């Protein structure tokens, strides 16, 4: 999503811009909703929002009480900034990301060539799934209190069942973001189907809907 569209969407949902941080490659916008007591960090690269994740970073909450223009030299427990607000260190391996602030680690994963795939919840823990096309490697990350607690290999990169129950238009946007392209639509046994193909991972699926929501997702043998 383009940054301008994301800003309008945040405002529509009642969020206010709380502050901005800049790195050598990205801009991080903090959006705060006082009613929800919710803080979101949106990472922008090349004019597009790459990630928008809820964070418990205290810096986000603090910035509601002061002008978002006061971006002086800042320090934290994991990263140090110079006078130009650029990172003075970078992660050299996935293990280096443990203990980093969540949005900083996500920027590093992006720099390493990992693309965010989707979120899922398992055993009370929220995960983000990432895929590196060059390395053909799938990983998952999890955080607590705004800091990365762990990174491990994952088999979730090819899964798409999590969109079941979503509003159909939201689900279709998610499929497109994941690299799927609609091939055709058809009706069978009273159900409306759409067939999708992902050229990168060479996977064909079909979705069907009920009451404008995704009722199911399954593999498909025909994509044309």
Helix (H, G, I), strand (E, B) or coil at 3: helix
When comparing pLDDT for 11 and 168, which is higher?
Answer: 168
Across the beta sheet with 147-153, the strand order is 114-122, 125-132, 137-144, 147-153
- Which regions of the chain does DSSP assign to beta strands (E)? 16-22, 27-33, 38-45, 48-54, 114-122, 125-132, 137-144, 147-153, 180-188, 191-198, 203-210, 213-219
Percent share of the chain, pLDDT over 90 = 22
Task: State yes or no: pLDDT of 73 exceeds 50.
Answer: no
Task: State yes or no: pLDDT of 203 exceeds 80.
Answer: yes
pLDDT computed for residue 62 by the predictor: 64
Structure confidence by residue, pLDDT tens digits, 21-71: 776 667 888 888 777 667 888 888 777 887 777 776 665 666 554 433 333
Rounded to an integer, the average pLDDT of 166-192 is: 89
Other beta carbons within 10 Å of 58: 12
Q: How confident is the model at residue 130 (pLDDT cuts 50, 70, 90)?
A: very high
pTM for the whole structure: 0.52
Task: State yes or no: pLDDT of 179 exceeds 50.
Answer: yes
Q: Where are the domains of the chain?
A: 3-153, 161-219
pLDDT computed for residue 68 by the predictor: 37
For the stretch 38-42, contacts whose Cβ atoms lie closer than 8 Å and that sit 24 or more positions apart, written own/partner, are 40/10, 40/15, 41/102, 41/103, 42/6, 42/10
pLDDT computed for residue 105 by the predictor: 87
When comparing pLDDT for 43 and 149, which is higher?
Answer: 149
Length reported for the chain: 224
pLDDT computed for residue 216 by the predictor: 94
Question: DSSP code of 162?
Answer: G
Structure confidence by residue, pLDDT tens digits, 161-178: 889 999 999 899 889 888
């Amino acid at each position: 999503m383009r940054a301008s569209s994301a800003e309008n969407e945040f405002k529509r949902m009642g969020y206010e811009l709380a502050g901005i941080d800049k790195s050598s490659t990205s801009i991080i916008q903090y959006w705060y909703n006082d009613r929800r007591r919710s803080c979101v960090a949106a990472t922008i690269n090349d004019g597009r929002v790459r990630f928008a994740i809820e964070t418990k970073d205290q810096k986000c909450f603090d910035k509601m009480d002061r002008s978002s223009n006061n971006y002086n030299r800042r320090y934290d427990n994991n990263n140090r900034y110079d006078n130009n607000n650029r990172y003075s260190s970078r992660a050299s391996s996935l293990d280096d990301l443990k203990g980093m602030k969540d949005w900083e680690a996500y920027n590093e994963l992006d720099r390493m060539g990992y693309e965010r795939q989707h979120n899922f919840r398992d055993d009370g823990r929220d995960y983000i799934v990432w895929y590196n096309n060059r390395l053909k490697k799938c990983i998952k990350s999890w955080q607590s209190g705004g800091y990365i607690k762990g990174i491990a290999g994952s088999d979730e990169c090819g899964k798409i069942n999590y969109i079941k129950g979503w509003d159909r238009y939201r689900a279709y946007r998610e499929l497109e973001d994941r690299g799927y392209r609609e091939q055709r639509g058809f009706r069978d046994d009273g159900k409306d189907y759409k067939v999708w193909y992902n050229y990168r991972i060479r996977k064909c699926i079909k979705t069907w809907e009920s009451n404008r929501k995704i009722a199911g997702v399954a593999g498909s043998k025909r994509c044309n």
